[in-house]
């Protein structure tokens, strides 16, 4: 693929509990190649990370692209993540909990790596290239074993203040209702996911009701797949039909709540249950929404079925790194438009001047392009050196998966990093440069990668 411009490609990886899927996506959103492999089971998180690294390497080799052509990698994790640190907080079905997977892979693959929640990224994928590609605001609800969801407003993911937003699956639909995997009761997930439907079908049959599910599962009802539910619906099985109608209504009322709260242009429904039984479910959801249209609204929220299917999450992961780096690039373009380099920095007797604003004291430019006056001061260590510690580093490197940290200071020879700070940089795969302020500005201007500039005045 030599005809492609340099740095024109993105890689999105869907790290699932059963399979890992990586996609090579162009700047314009064309999927050039895909690679799939089973997730290593019953093994340490480190082995799963190694497998992710391998699949990315194989994908690139098979597609004939090298490092210079890929701008970055997005990873979708099924669980709670801290995107700023690239850390997995909890993955219920995997062994990645507690691991700083982003920095580890960034160091290994020498490319920026960002991570996100899988359902959030599935929504971002649908908003970028799928059913919601023409919509400005999209809410995605994915019905499978559980119910995952995501919110995209003005084409940007809304992760929430604590990265815990968009959890539509855990809206309380029935006070004191059935127990949910999250520990609460009566969540949408506990009433309308495949697991909830399965539980109710099983209970009905065990309670003496007749259903084709008994035959379709050969009597083993430990798992009732979406395909079995679909076949039972086609055979107009009374038990499955009534339970699924109730679940679909619940989903409809959850969509109604979403509409009242966000009024999105479109709600995209996806996941295994929708793929198998969407023809039955979607009209019921639409009916609930239609029956409750808001006075004054011209037309109703559009409900659409996911168009990317299995690809949605990997494409969304590529969209995550794409949008983050694009944001950086568009800021750069804006400056170029005004005839300036990006951003315009210089230093004079008064301090450091960034885009016309003079900072007499400390200042930083984070990897996401934000210019900030730091709210921390480096401490003095026992040897009398100015010392940068982990707290300061966490703030410097908080956003945008930086690869390089450039520190400019009056006396570079008297600036040190604490042992823990050094370890943190190493762990996150960030290279550090400490030099005089003019040299730091020069270096910042010359570098093109994801970088942080920190100017510190040592009085
Ligand atoms: Zn819940």
- What is the pLDDT tens value at each position of the chain, 459 positions in all? 545 555 689 999 999 888 999 999 998 888 999 999 999 888 899 999 999 999 999 999 999 999 889 999 999 999 899 988 899 998 877 889 999 999 999 889 988 999 999 999 999 999 999 999 989 999 999 999 999 999 999 888 998 888 888 999 999 999 999 999 889 999 999 999 999 999 999 999 999 999 999 999 998 999 999 999 999 999 999 999 999 999 999 999 999 999 999 999 999 999 999 999 999 999 999 999 988 776 666 677 899 999 998 899 999 999 999 888 776 666 555 544 444 345 778 887 778 877 767 777 888 888 877 888 888 888 888 888 889 998 888 888 887 788 899 999 988 988 999 999 999 888 888 999 999 998 898 888 888 778 899 999 876
In the numeric block, which tokens belong to residue 26? 């162009």
Pairing verdict, β 156-157 and 266-270: unpaired
Distance in Å, CA 147 to ligand 1 centroid: 9
Distance in Å, CA 180 to ligand 1 centroid: 5
What burial class does residue 385 get, using C-beta atoms within 10 Å of its C-beta: 0-12 exposed, 13-18 middle, 19+ buried? middle
Distance in Å, CA 196 to ligand 1 centroid: 12
Distance in Å, CA 80 to ligand 1 centroid: 14
Distance in Å, CA 227 to ligand 1 centroid: 24
Distance in Å, CA 119 to ligand 1 centroid: 15
Distance in Å, CA 174 to ligand 1 centroid: 11
What pLDDT does 85 receive? 86
Distance in Å, CA 378 to ligand 1 centroid: 43
Distance in Å, CA 202 to ligand 1 centroid: 21
Distance in Å, CA 252 to ligand 1 centroid: 17
**Integer Cα distance of 248 and 237 in angstroms:** 16
In the numeric block, which tokens belong to residue 160? 């929430």
Distance in Å, CA 200 to ligand 1 centroid: 17
What pLDDT does 298 receive? 64
Distance in Å, CA 336 to ligand 1 centroid: 48
Distance in Å, CA 257 to ligand 1 centroid: 16
Distance in Å, CA 365 to ligand 1 centroid: 39
Distance in Å, CA 280 to ligand 1 centroid: 24
Q: Pick the closest to residue 115 from 163, 164, 81, 146 (CA basis).
A: 81
In the numeric block, which tokens belong to residue 1? 């693929």
What pLDDT does 339 receive? 41
What pLDDT does 457 receive? 86
What pLDDT does 329 receive? 62
Distance in Å, CA 52 to ligand 1 centroid: 29
* Domains located in the chain, CATH noted: 9-117+313-330 (3.30.420.40), 131-307 (3.30.420.40), 343-456 (3.40.1230.10)
Distance in Å, CA 312 to ligand 1 centroid: 23
Distance in Å, CA 169 to ligand 1 centroid: 6
What pLDDT does 229 receive? 97
Distance in Å, CA 94 to ligand 1 centroid: 19
**Integer Cα distance of 381 and 403 in angstroms:** 26
Distance in Å, CA 173 to ligand 1 centroid: 10
3-state secondary structure 209-232: CCCCHHHHCCCCCCCCCHHHHHHH
Distance in Å, CA 149 to ligand 1 centroid: 12
Distance in Å, CA 314 to ligand 1 centroid: 25
**Integer Cα distance of 356 and 335 in angstroms:** 12
Distance in Å, CA 170 to ligand 1 centroid: 4
Distance in Å, CA 150 to ligand 1 centroid: 15
């Amino acid at each position: 693929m030599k005809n492609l411009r340099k740095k024109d490609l993105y890689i999105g990886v869907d790290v699932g509990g059963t399979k890992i899927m990586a996609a090579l996506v162009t700047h314009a959103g064309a999927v050039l190649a895909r690679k799939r492999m089973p997730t290593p089971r019953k093994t340490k998180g480190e082995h799963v990370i190694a497998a992710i690294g391998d699949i990315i390497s194989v994908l690139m080799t098979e597609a004939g692209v090298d490092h210079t052509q890929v701008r970055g990698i997005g990873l979708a994790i099924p669980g709670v993540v801290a995107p700023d640190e690239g850390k997995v907080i909890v993955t219920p079905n995997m062994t990645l909990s507690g691991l700083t997977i982003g920095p580890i892979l960034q160091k290994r693959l020498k490319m920026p790596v960002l991570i996100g929640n899988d359902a959030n990224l599935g929504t971002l994928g649908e908003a970028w290239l799928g059913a919601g590609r023409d919509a400005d605001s999209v809410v995605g609800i994915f019905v499978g074993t559980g119910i995952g969801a995501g919110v995209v407003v003005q084409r940007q993911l809304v992760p929430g203040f604590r990265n815990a937003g968009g959890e539509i699956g855990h809206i309380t639909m029935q006070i004191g209702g059935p127990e949910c995997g999250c520990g609460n009761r009566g969540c949408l997930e506990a009433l309308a996911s495949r697991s909830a439907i399965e539980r109710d079908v099983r209970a009905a049959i065990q309670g003496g009701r007749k259903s084709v599910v008994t035959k379709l599962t050969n009597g083993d009802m430990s798992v009732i797949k979406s395909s079995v539910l679909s076949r039972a619906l086609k055979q107009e099985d009374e038990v499955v039909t009534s339970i699924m109608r109730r679940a679909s209504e619940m989903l409809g009322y959850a969509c109604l709540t979403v509409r009242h709260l966000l009024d999105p242009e479109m709600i995209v429904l996806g996941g295994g249950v929708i793929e198998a039984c969407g023809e039955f479910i979607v009209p019921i959801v639409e009916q609930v929404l239609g029956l409750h249209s808001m006075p004054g609204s011209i037309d109703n929220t559009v409900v659409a079925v996911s168009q990317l299917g299995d690809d949605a999450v990997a494409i969304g992961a590529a969209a995550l790194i794409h949008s983050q780096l694009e944001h950086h690039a568009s800021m750069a373009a804006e400056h170029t438009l005004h005839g300036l380099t990006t951003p315009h920095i210089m230093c004079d007797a008064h301090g450091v001047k960034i885009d016309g604003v003079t900072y007499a004291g400390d200042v930083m430019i984070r990897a996401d392009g934000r210019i900030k006056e730091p709210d921390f001061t480096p401490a003095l260590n026992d040897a009398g050196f100015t010392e940068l510690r982990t707290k300061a580093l966490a703030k410097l490197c908080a956003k945008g998966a930086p690869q390089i940290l450039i520190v400019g200071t009056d006396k570079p020879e008297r600036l040190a990093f604490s042992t823990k700070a050094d370890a943190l940089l190493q762990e996150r795969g960030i290279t550090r440069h400490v030099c005089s302020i003019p040299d730091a500005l020069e270096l910042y201007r010359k570098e093109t990668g994801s970088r942080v500039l920190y100017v510190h005045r040592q009085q």
